């Protein structure tokens, strides 16, 4: 099989990275997202990839080894509070989860207290009150399983999807009962929403010719098939993939500290790679709830391409609301009337209206000007100056967030000044220079795949399964627990079509964690409270062979020029534009200039220079 496909669905666009390993080529695809059914955009992405490769969709999918999918379905369900009505059954010794009621996640009558022996009656009460899913939280995993078995024996049909039951020990295994309960609650809250989409997507892909399981990207790094994915594992998986891609890029360039900025159409996500490592939180926070869920540390902020622009009490406002994919910015011509950051970029001349998405989508500059004109009038400035203030506001907002995030990772002073900004997302390259300057940095890195960087990041992921179990009276023998978890790992990996795997066994004791080479070694350890097994099956990754640095003269890549505004100190000037696909290692471009690609535009303001390294990475430097 020749192809690997990585797809990332965002709020505005769905991105694809298709690697043809036989020909050693990589293809980038970007299609509009379909918020009413995200799987439609996934299929559109595959269809567009097949068209680019001059193949039928069945021919492409039959020859695909791996299809990895990152998405924001669970994230959006939590943010928009569009999840299931969840009932909670707590054991006699568990804390009463009043915070779930106080924060509006559920209602007081959707919580019942009962021992495992009385679980069946409590379950029926919750279902009668409208529960679409039920969480069981008890002191011991064995009690939770006994309660679940009682329900299963009486209502076997419920496990076909009507009212699923989640136990905290199946979803999470940390020491904090509240964090375990929160994880199970949110998993139940988004399960139905996500499971329906993913199962439908996999079925459609199989009907079209895919012979391997659809792999779902997890927020902790790694991917596994739909049947082995808890819905909560996918929360923020797209931004997490981007952070992993940035870590790989930073290591390749010998960068010690990097900040990541993912600016798409709907949101901006920040991350940090410090000393070559991307931070993973064992306990994360989702919508204000502490959750027992390992996740890459990514921070969502405002100011994306689709962020709405307005004036409030004489002050320019950008975001937090977004125009999304539909209706989108005014210039999309899909019914949007309110101005966005993208409309401001078009008014400035920083986007080519005839070349958006490789010319497959024309932007309407007059609609953008009409939408932004009330903003200019409210500010009392010319239209160009209003658009420039929007661009400056985005830089100012992103820089403020970036400095705060960096300080939280110990990066300030000289360390911050030496930090490199890795920029990606469809709107990131157009704003990179302003953010670099406003943050106090000097350099930004952008790859040829920056516009689909989360898909690029997931292309480096292996199939990963993580299992853990507490050692308690129900499971007193660490050796047997490890053997059981390993058998489960082998079964799950084989079910995804992979034979080769590596196993890591970790024991938790009072003094910390200790890695052992075999289950038998656990017999010699005292005080083991938890055993974890991590199984990794390697899959094909995108490989990048460096080219040779050539002449810095980039004139052969020049595609023309356009009138662009660069602020009050420069005004409108005829600005050269270069074609990204024609750039070669060694090329150097001094600002002001643009590099136009099929899916993103890099703006090079006066005072900045862009060079292309041997990997095709664009290095944007403040002179």
Prior bond of 592 cis (ω within 30°): yes
**pTM (2 d.p.):** 0.77
Residues 84 and 186 grouped into a single domain: yes
562 and 503 together in one domain? no
Choose one of 137, 170, 191: the last residue of a domain: 191
Strands 133-137 and 165-167: parallel
- In this structure, the answer to whether residues 93 and 112 fall within a common structural domain is yes
- Domain membership of residue 525 (yes or no) is yes
140 and 116 within one domain: yes
CATH number at residue 152: 3.40.50
How does pLDDT run across 357-407, given as a tens digit for each residue? 777 788 999 999 999 999 999 999 999 999 999 999 999 999 998 988 888
The b-or-e profile of 386-403 (16+ CB within 10 A means b, else e) is bbbbbbebbbbbbbebbb
The structural domain count of the chain equals: 4
- Whether 109 is in a domain gets the answer yes
State whether 66 and 205 are in the same domain. Answer: yes
Whether the bond between 327 and the residue before it is cis, its omega within 30 degrees of 0, is yes
Q: How far apart are CA 419 and CA 412, in angstroms?
A: 9
Domain assignment of residue 503, yes or no: yes
For residue 220, give the CATH number of its domain: 3.30.420.40
Task: List Cβ neighbours of 496 (8 Å cut-off, separation of 6 or more).
Answer: 212, 213, 215, 224, 225, 228, 463, 537
Among the three residues 158, 191, 224, which one is the final residue of a domain in this structure? 191
> Both 471 and 494 in a single domain?
yes
> Is 149 a member of any domain?
yes
Q: What is residue 544's predicted lDDT score, i.e. its pLDDT? A: 63
Q: 272 in a domain, yes or no?
A: no
* 497 phi/psi in degrees, rounded to 5: 90, 20
Indicate whether 141 and 92 sit together in one domain.
Answer: yes
Count of Cβ atoms closer than 10 Å to residue 345 Cβ: 25
Indicate if 92 and 182 belong to the same structural domain.
yes
Q: Is residue 419 part of a domain?
A: no
Per run of 10 residues, the mean pLDDT along the chain (length 623 residues) is 86 86 85 86 94 94 92 79 91 90 93 93 93 92 89 66 82 84 93 86 93 86 78 82 85 87 83 82 82 80 84 89 80 91 96 83 93 96 97 93 87 83 89 94 89 80 80 83 90 81 87 85 86 83 76 94 95 96 95 91 97 92 92
CB distance 7 to 42 below 8 Å: yes
DSSP string, 152-163: HHH-GGGGGTTS
CA distance 615 to 613: 5
Residue 88 lies in a domain: yes
- Note the pLDDT of residue 160: 39
Q: Looking at 505, 537, 569, which one is the last position of a domain? A: 537
- Which tens digits make up the pLDDT trace of 24-41? 788 889 888 888 888 899
In terms of domains, do 585 and 529 share one?
no
Q: Which domain holds residue 467?
A: 463-537
Spatial distance between the Cα atoms of 113 and 116, rounded to a whole number of angstroms? 10
| 57 falls within a domain | yes
Tens of pLDDT, residues 72-102: 778 778 877 888 899 999 999 888 999 999 9
What's 488's domain CATH number? Answer: 3.30.1490.100
Structure tokens at 204: 């459609």
- 64 & 137 share domain: no
Q: Are residues 159 and 18 in the same domain?
A: no
Do both 179 and 214 map to the same domain? no
């Amino acid at each position: 099989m020749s192809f690997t496909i990585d797809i990332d669905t965002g709020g505005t666009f769905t991105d694809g990275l298709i690697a043809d390993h036989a020909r050693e080529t990589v293809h980038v695809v970007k299609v509009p997202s379909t918020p009413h059914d995200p799987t439609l955009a996934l299929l559109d992405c595959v269809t567009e990839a097949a068209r680019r490769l001059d193949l039928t969709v069945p021919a492409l999918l039959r020859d695909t080894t791996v299809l990895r999918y990152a998405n924001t379905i669970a994230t959006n369900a939590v943010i928009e509070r569009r999840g299931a009505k969840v009932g909670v059954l707590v054991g006699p010794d568990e804390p009463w989860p009043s915070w779930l009621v106080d924060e509006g996640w559920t209602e007081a009558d959707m919580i019942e207290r009962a021992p495992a022996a009385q679980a069946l009656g409590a379950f029926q009460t919750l279902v009668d009150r409208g529960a679409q899913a039920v969480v069981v939280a008890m002191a011991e995993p064995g009690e939770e399983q006994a309660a679940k078995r009682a329900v299963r024996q009486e209502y076997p049909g419920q496990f076909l999807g009507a009212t699923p039951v989640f136990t905290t020990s199946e979803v999470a295994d940390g020491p904090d009962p509240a964090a375990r309960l929160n994880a199970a609650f949110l998993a139940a809250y988004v399960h139905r929403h996500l499971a329906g989409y993913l199962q439908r997507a996999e079925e459609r892909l199989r009907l079209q010719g895919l012979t391997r399981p659809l792999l779902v990207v997890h927020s902790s790094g790694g991917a596994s098939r739909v049947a082995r994915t808890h819905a909560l594992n996918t929360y923020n998986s797209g931004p997490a993939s981007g952070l992993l891609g940035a870590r790989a890029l930073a290591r390749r360039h010998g960068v010690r500290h990097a900040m990541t900025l993912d600016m798409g159409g709907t949101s901006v996500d920040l991350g940090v790679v410090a000393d070559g490592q991307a931070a993973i939180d064992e306990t994360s926070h989702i919508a204000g709830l502490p959750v027992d869920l390992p996740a890459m540390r990514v921070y969502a902020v405002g100011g994306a391409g689709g962020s709405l622009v307005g004036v409030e009490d004489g002050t320019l406002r950008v975001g937090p609301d977004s125009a999304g994919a539909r209706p989108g910015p005014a210039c999309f011509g899909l019914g949007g009337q309110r101005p966005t950051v993208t409309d401001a970029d078009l008014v400035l001349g920083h986007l080519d209206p005839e070349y958006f998405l490789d010319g497959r989508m024309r932007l309407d500059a007059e609609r953008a000007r009409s939408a932004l004109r009330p903003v200019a009038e409210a500010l009392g400035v010319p239209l160009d100056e209003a658009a420039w203030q929007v661009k400056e506001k985005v830089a100012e907002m992103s820089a403020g967030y970036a400095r705060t995030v960096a300080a939280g990772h110990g990066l300030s002073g000289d360390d911050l000044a030496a930090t490199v900004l890795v920029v990606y997302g469809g709107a990131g390259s157009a704003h990179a220079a302003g953010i670099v300057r406003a943050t106090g940095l000097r350099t930004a890195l952008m790859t040829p795949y920056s516009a689909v960087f989360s898909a690029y990041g997931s292309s480096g992921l292996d199939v990963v399964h993580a299992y853990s179990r507490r050692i308690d009276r129900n499971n007193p023998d660490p050796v047997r627990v490890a053997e059981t978890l390993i058998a489960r790992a082998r079964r799950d990996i084989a079910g995804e079509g992979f034979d080769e795997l590596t196993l890591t066994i970790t024991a938790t004791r009072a003094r910390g964690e200790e890695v052992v080479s075999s289950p038998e070694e656990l017999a010699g350890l005292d005080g083991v409270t938890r055993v974890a097994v991590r199984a990794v099956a390697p899959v094909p990754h995108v490989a990048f062979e460096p080219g040779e640095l050539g002449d810095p003269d980039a004139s052969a890549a020049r595609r023309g020029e356009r009138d662009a505004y660069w602020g009050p100190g420069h005004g409108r000037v005829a600005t050269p534009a270069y074609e990204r696909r024609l750039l070669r290692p060694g090329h150097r471009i001094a600002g002001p200039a643009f590099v136009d690609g099929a899916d993103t535009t890099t703006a090079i303001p006066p005072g900045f220079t862009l060079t292309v390294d041997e990997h095709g990475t664009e290095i944007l430097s403040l002179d």
